[in-house]
Structure 1
Amino acid sequence: MRQGRARTVRHPRHVAIIMDGNGRWARARGLPRSMGHRRGVEAVRAAVRAAGELGIEYLTLFAFSSENWRRPKDEIEELLGLLKHFIRRDLADLHKEGVRVRVIGGRDDLSADIRSLLEEAENLTRDNSRQTLVIAFNYGARDEVARAVKRIAEKFAAGEVTLDALTADYLGEHMDTAGIPDPDLIIRTSGELRLSNFLLWQAAYSEFVFMPCLWPDFDRQSFEDAIAEYASRDRRFGGLSREIAS
C-alpha cells in the first residue's frame, strides 16, 4: 500500500486533469472498452469528491475532445450516454454540495438534447460558490482560440473594439474559460507525456504531473501524490527561483 506524505503541502487553487487510459485499463483485463469508460466515470466521481475534500477551488476534467468524434460510432454513443447518466445522476448531489458546473467547448454542432443537458447543469448550479467543476466537452484548445479570435474579429468589424485594445488579456476574456483562473496543476494519467490540445492558452505557467496509472485506477492517494509533487516545485513565472532570490 502506498504511504501518504505526512508533511503539509501547498495546495493548488485550480487542478485540470487529462483523464487517459480507460481503453487500456479494459484491454489489460480482457474487457470491452465500454467497461473501461464506465469505471472511468467512477474515478470521476472519486476525483470530484477528493478535490472538494482537499480544498481545490476549481477542478477541470477533459471529458470529451473535439477530436473524439473520430472514434467508432458505438464508442461515441457509449461516451455520450455516460455523460448524460453522470449529469442526471450526480447533478442534484453536486448542487447540494455547493458545486458550480461550468462547461467549456464548442456547442453549435451538438445535438439539442446534449446542449439542453449541459445548459441545465450550468443554470441549476450557477449561484454555487464552494467549488467549480469545469467539464471540457467537445473541447479542443485550438478550436477555442479560433472561436475567441472570431468573436473579437466580429466586434472589430462592428467598430466595437480598436486595435489598441487587442491585448493578451482581452483575448483571454473571450476564451471559454473567461473568469476562471488558469490551472496551477495539470495532471495526465496513463503515462502519456503530451497535452493533446488541452488548455494550450491557459497552461502557459501550469505545473505538469504525468502519472503512470490508468484513469480508472486514479484514486484519492493518486490525487494527493500529484499535489505533493506540485508542492515541491518552485513556481517562478519567469522570475528567479526562491533559492537564488534569497
Structure 2
Amino acid sequence: MRTDIFARLDREPEPPKIEIPRMSRTRLALFGGTSVFYLAIVVAVLASTWLVLIDWKVMLFRPYQQWPELHAPLDYFVVLGQRGPTAVMVAAWLGWRSWRQHTLRPLLVLGTALLLLNVTVGAVKIGLGRLGPHYATQIGSAELFAGGDIFPSGHTANAVVTWGILSYLATTPRARRYLSALSAVVALGVGLTTVYLGTHWLSDVLLGWAAGLLILLGLPWCEPLIGRAEVAILSARDRLRERLREGR
C-alpha cells in the first residue's frame, strides 16, 4: 500500500467543501451601482460632455512622450490584459484545480465569464464604433460611429474578468482578499497603461473596468446553469466510458 505523501495527495479534493458565491444583497447593490456608472459613462461620451474633453487633454498630453523610459516595460505589462495569453495562463491553473478537486466548475466558470465578456463588450464596441486616439479625426469629437472598436477597452475588461475570476473561485476568505487586491492592481495597471500608450481614451478604460466588474458580479446568476452543464458533461463522459468498456 502506498503511504508516501504524494500518494495521499494524489487527486485529493482541496478543500472538501467548495462554497459557491450567491447573489447577496451586497453583490446586488454593487451590481446596481456599477450599472449606473456604466450607463453614466456611455451617456457622457454620447453627449460629448466634459469627459470627452478630458479624453482629449490626456491624449494631447501624450504620456508616452512625457515618460518614454516606461514604454518598453509597459509594452510587456499590457500583455496581462490580452485575451489569448491570459486565458491560457488562467485556464492552465484552473484546469489543474479542476483535476485536483474532481470538478469542472472552475473551467466552466472561466468559459462562461469569457463568453459573456466577448458578447457584451464586443456588441458595445461594434455598436458605438469609436475610433482610438491614434486614429482620431477632429479635436473635441467623441469619434463615435466611425467604424472603430475601442469603446469599452477590451484589454481592461479582460484584465478585470480573467484575473478577477481567481478571486471569485477562491476557497478561503483570506485567499479571496489577497486575490481581489492582486487582480484589482493588475486591472488598474493594464487600463492606465493603455492610456499611457495612447491606444485608448480614458473613458474607454473607465467603461472597461465597469464592463468587467459587471460580469464578475453577475456570475452567481449563471451558477445553476454551470452546475447543470457540469452534470451533463460528466454524465456524457461516464456513458462514453461504459461504451468503451463494453466494446472491449
- Say yes or no: TM over 0.5: no
TM-score where L is the length of structure 1 = 0.27
Greater share of residues in helix: 2
TM-score where L is the length of structure 2 = 0.27
Greater share of residues in strand: 1
